Amino acid sequence: MAKERSHMTGSGAQSDEDTMVPALFAPWAALLLNRAQIKS
């Protein structure tokens, strides 16, 4: 059975910024906007 490998493009830091940052901070940002009573 052949092993599958995933290939990333770009740097690891850029990949994290593109995927992890939105996933981690989007819920927090929505709560912050709600708390500040800012309409987006």
Which positions ≥6 away from 31 have C-beta within 8 Å? Answer: none
Comparing 40 with 15, which gets the higher pLDDT? 15
* Greatest Cα-to-Cα distance within the chain, rounded to the nearest angstrom: 55
Quick one: how far is CA 26 from the chain centroid? 8
Cβ count within 10 A of residue 20: 10
Query: What are the tens digits of pLDDT across the range 3-31?
Result: 766 666 678 888 888 989 999 999 998 89
Quick one: how far is CA 15 from the chain centroid? 9
Is the entire prediction scored with pTM above 0.85?
Answer: no
Q: How many CA atoms lie within 13 A of 9 on its CB side?
A: 0
pLDDT of residue 6: 64
